[in-house]
Chain A
Amino acid sequence: MKTAKYLSVLFLCLIGLQVFAQDATKEEPPMPPARKAAIDSLALEKVHDLSKYISKIGDKETSFSEANRVIERALELFVEDAQMGVSTLGKKQIKYFGIRKYLERLNKLNYKSVNIDWFDIQYISDLEKQPDGRYVGVITIYQKFTGVTEDGLVYKDVTKKDITIYVERKTTQIGGREIGFWDVLLGDIRVSETKKG
Chain B
Amino acid sequence: MKKIVFTLLIFCCGISLSQAQQTIGNYKGDESKLYAETKQFTQFIKRFNNEEDRNGQPYSTGSYKYRENNYRKKYLEILFDGENTSISKQMKKNFIDEITNKKSPKYIEKHQGGYFAEVSTRFLYKGKNTDVTLYMQLEQDSLGYKWSISDVYSKQLQGLFENNDPKKNFLHPMSHEIDFMNLHRAFGDKDEIEDYAYKGHEIDYISILFYLLKTGDLKFVTVTNVRFHIFQIENWYFTVEKFERDSYNSGWLISSLMPLKPTDIETMRRYVLHKK
Are the chains A and B members of one assembly?
yes
B145 CB, nearest partner CB in chain A, Å? 6
In this complex, the interface size class of chain A, counting residues with CB under 8 Å from chain B, is: 35 or more
Contact (Cβ within 8 A) B34 A121: yes
Query: For window 122-168 of chain A, which residues contact chain B by CB distance below 8 Å?
Result: 122-126, 128-133, 138, 140-144, 160, 162
Contact (Cβ within 8 A) B144 A133: yes
Per a CB cutoff under 8 Å, which of A48, A93, A162 touches B40?
Answer: A162
Contact (Cβ within 8 A) B145 A130: yes
Across the interface, which residues of B come within 8 angstroms of A131, CB to CB? 141-146
25 pairs, CB–CB < 8 Å, chain A vs chain B: A47-B24, A48-B24, A51-B25, A89-B244, A92-B222, A93-B221, A94-B223, A96-B222, A118-B23, A118-B27, A120-B25, A120-B27, A122-B22, A125-B43, A126-B42, A128-B144, A128-B145, A131-B141, A132-B143, A133-B142, A140-B39, A142-B31, A160-B39, A162-B40, A192-B244
Total interface residues in chain B, CB < 8 Å: 35
Count of A-B residue pairs with CB < 8 Å:
99
Contact (Cβ within 8 A) B27 A117: yes
Asked if B210 CB lies within 8 Å of chain A CBs, one says: no
Task: Knowing A120-B25, A122-B22, say if A130 contacts B143 (CB, 8 Å).
Answer: yes
Asked if B21 CB lies within 8 Å of chain A CBs, one says: yes
Task: Knowing A47-B24, A194-B244, say if A125 contacts B40 (CB, 8 Å).
Answer: yes
Tell me the bound Cα distance from A192 to B223 in angstroms.
13
Query: For window 53-94 of chain B, which residues contact chain A by CB distance below 8 Å?
Result: 56, 58, 60
Asked if A181 CB lies within 8 Å of chain B CBs, one says: no
Asked if B3 CB lies within 8 Å of chain A CBs, one says: no
Contact (Cβ within 8 A) B146 A130: yes
Q: Spell out A's residues near B (CB within 8 Å).
A: 25, 27, 33, 37, 40-41, 44, 47-48, 51, 89, 92-96, 116-126, 128-133, 138, 140-144, 160, 162, 192, 194-195
Across the interface, which residues of B come within 8 angstroms of A195, CB to CB? 246
Across the interface, which residues of B come within 8 angstroms of A130, CB to CB? 143-146
Contact (Cβ within 8 A) A129 B144: yes
Contacts A89-B244, A129-B145 known; 5 new A-B pairs at CB < 8 A: A25-B140, A123-B40, A125-B42, A131-B143, A133-B144
